[in-house]
Amino acid sequence: MDTAGSILRLTPIYAIIFDVVANPSTPVKLMSTLDTRQIRTEKPTPDVEGALAPGRVLQNRYEILGILGLGGMSAVYQGRDRRFPNVVKLCAIKEMKSHSLDPQMRAMAIQNFEREANILATLNHPAIPKVYDYFTEEARSYLVMEFIDGRDLEAVIAELTTFLPQDQVMDWSVQLCDVLAFLHEHEPPIIFRDMKPSNVMLDKHGRLRLIDFGIAKNFQPGQKGTMIGTEGYSPPEQYRGIADQRTDLYALGATLHHLLTRQDPRVEPPFSFHERPVQSTNPNVSNEFAQIVMRALEYEPERRFASAQEMKRTLLGLRPSLETRFGPTAVNLGSGDVMPLWTFACEDEIRSTPSLADRTLYVASYDHNLYALDATTGKFQWKYATDAGIASSPHWADDRVLVGSDDRVVYCINAQTGRIAWTCPTQGRVRSSPRVQFGHVFFGSDDRQLYAVNLQTGRVSWKTETEGPVRSSATISDDAIYFGSEDGSVYCVDIRGTVKWRYHTRRPVTSSPALHTESQLLVVGSQDSTVYGLDSQSGWVIWRFRTNKPVISSPCIVDDVVYIGSADNCVYALEIRTGKLIWKYATEGQVNSSPAVANGNLYVGSVDGSIYSIDAKTGSLRWRVRTSGPVISSPVIGDEVVYIGSNDHVVYALPA
């Protein structure tokens, strides 16, 4: 055996391993695509000799639940973050055991572990696990990361009794090209060096996540490094200690070859892919896709794709429909490609509307945090953690940011520093979004109350009780406050909280009313599938417009036109004075997002995972960008940029 081969075979001893065991009792269904509802992680192993026992607590914070994977010098545990006592917040905890008798091996393991921690801490991409913490305890180093509910592709392959559908593998190849392009375009560039099925996780939402950055390194042209990787997936030059962007593309090609043929390259002769073409094993693969895979596997680096972006473009050119399957990717509608100006990944779903003020974007996430981001670059500025998920939209006023939380509290936070100014506890979850007028903050709570709170002190001035949770946000005029309640009513109260009128619909009113000042019409949606035009002074119905499903979306009124979404998948444009239909546009999922209009264009999200731009006058589509999760967040627009969140945990900044 040659020296290079020996080193490659020894790699698993010191590489950081995250190997989730497949659950043999959960078969993988093969239809037109892989059914990711069947993808689940195996329950953690309760006890292994020499490993941390379940119940052990690290740093007085992280409770060990069990072992997910075990390697020669490392282990991966499923843990629980006890800092969140009211919810079960899982995390993955990598442990490096630094007790090797070989000093050289020990030093290399420590170096790899620290490199992984440092690299992950600088990366922000939906396909890369987030790192939360890094510490040493009792001569062992620990890395606390995002827990991924899923299994690796090697486990998926092991359960197959037939070939994966080509469309599925093509979708995955685009996702992997996307994350490799992100790494290669990082400053400095990062070469992953160990792409293989066991280092790619398929989460329960069907998204791929790249794991195990233990041997990733910053790229320096002309520099030779240690000959490490995984035999069968590593290209010839990696045996000589050479690795650049094309090294990762070869390993990606080897991974795709394995997925398409079910032939494990580790047990085949080295560099024998061209002796084993994809279609000789799997005739279902098209010539074009097979050629892309085989080009990535060229022996000479200069004959491969020059970059991950080039390979991705070639894949998208082969099948343009991939452009809207996983993203965001460019959507070409003749007027140019629509690509995010930047994205920022939170730790959980983004359900609410961002707030924009003084070139800062404030984003609330269901990961419990309120984030402040530079609106131009997406750069993180600060975050403030509440004690539960946040579905309320933040509101900026007087250099303060106000937001409600499912922990039953409304927070007032200094917009510059992220420090708390005051809190106002309620007796229910706060999903209504605060509004400020008359020196007071108005918001609803699931305790059935509408609150008026002094902006400076946080003291409650008055409360108005309804008969249901108040999740609608208030609209405020010179002498009245309008809001909906889950009791099915629309309320109008004066500035002292006295009810002036109440209109009862047949279902909950989660939609937030909008007031048309000129006509004095109040427009609001109801879960009885109706949009109502009410006289704002009396509460009398002026018009009704019936949709086919509940209306949770809040109306937007621009130039005498009402824009609103419905769970019937449509966005509607209605005449403000009559409620007559001007146009409607059908998406592929419920429209619970609330439209925003700027410069004659409408922007809205859909549960189908897309962000839409529609001509506000004609109702024709301008562009569509697909995210990796339902979009129930609503957009905010500033400086010709659209900001919106998605349930894929990502905030998108898109050119308007």
Quickly list DSSP for 187-229: SS-EE----SGGGEEEETTS-EEE---TT-EE--TT------S
Q: How many residues does this entry show for the chain? A: 656
650 within 8 A of 326, measured Cβ to Cβ: no
Q: Which helix (H) or strand (E) covers residue 296, if one does?
A: helix 287-296
- Domains of the chain and any CATH numbers: 42-146 (3.30.200.20), 152-324 (1.10.510.10)
Per-residue pLDDT, 123? 83
606 within 8 A of 624, measured Cβ to Cβ: no
Q: Which ranges of the chain have pLDDT less than 70?
A: 1-50, 71-73, 97-102, 116, 205, 213-229, 319-337
* Structure token pair of residue 407: 């922990």
Return the closest-CA partner of residue 105 out of 153, 73, 62: 73
- Tens-place pLDDT, residues 337-384: 478 889 999 989 999 999 999 899 999 999 999 999 999 999 999 999
CA distance 520 to 407: 37
Q: Which helix (H) or strand (E) covers residue 369, if one does?
A: strand 369-374
Quickly list DSSP for 573-631: EEETTT--EEEEEE-SS---SPPEEETTEEEEE-TTSEEEEEETTT--EEEEEE-SS--
User: If phi over 0 gives left and psi between -120 and 50 gives alpha, with beta otherwise, what is residue 61?
Assistant: alpha
Per-residue pLDDT, 392? 95
CA distance 631 to 183: 26
* Structure token pair of residue 67: 């072992």
Half-sphere exposure of 280 (CA within 13 A, CB side): 7
**DSSP classification of residue 639:** T
First and final C-alpha spacing in the chain: 59
How far are the Cα atoms of 436, 535, 603 from residue 451, in angstroms, in the given order? 11, 24, 31
Secondary structure (3-state) at 274: helix
SS3 content of the chain, % helix, strand, coil (to 5): 20, 35, 50
CA distance 466 to 432: 14
Per-residue pLDDT, 293? 96
Contacts of 174 (CB under 8 A, 6+ apart): 312, 315, 316, 322, 325, 326, 329
Q: Is 459 exposed, middle or buried (0-12, 13-18, 19+ CB in 10 A)?
A: exposed
Pairing of strands 541-546, 556-558: unpaired
* Structure token pair of residue 289: 């896709």
253 within 8 A of 293, measured Cβ to Cβ: yes
* Structure token pair of residue 343: 């994205």
Per-residue pLDDT, 230? 84
* Structure token pair of residue 14: 């010191």
CA distance 431 to 405: 7
Return the closest-CA partner of residue 353 out of 633, 653, 642, 564: 633
- Tens-place pLDDT, residues 370-423: 999 999 999 999 999 999 999 999 999 999 999 999 999 999 999 999 999 999
Q: Is 389 exposed, middle or buried (0-12, 13-18, 19+ CB in 10 A)?
A: buried
CB atoms within 10 A of CB 157: 19
3-state SS string for 12-74:
HHHCCCCCCCCCCCCCCCECCCECHHHCCCCCCECCCCCCCCCCCEECCCEEEEEEEEECCCE
Per-residue pLDDT, 102? 67
CA distance 106 to 97: 9
How far are the Cα atoms of 9, 11, 101, 193 from residue 6, in angstroms, in the given order? 5, 9, 20, 17
How far are the Cα atoms of 388, 389, 431, 435 from residue 408, in angstroms, in the given order? 9, 10, 9, 17
How far are the Cα atoms of 362, 454, 495, 522 from residue 478, in angstroms, in the given order? 27, 18, 9, 14
Per-residue pLDDT, 98? 60
Per-residue pLDDT, 339? 80
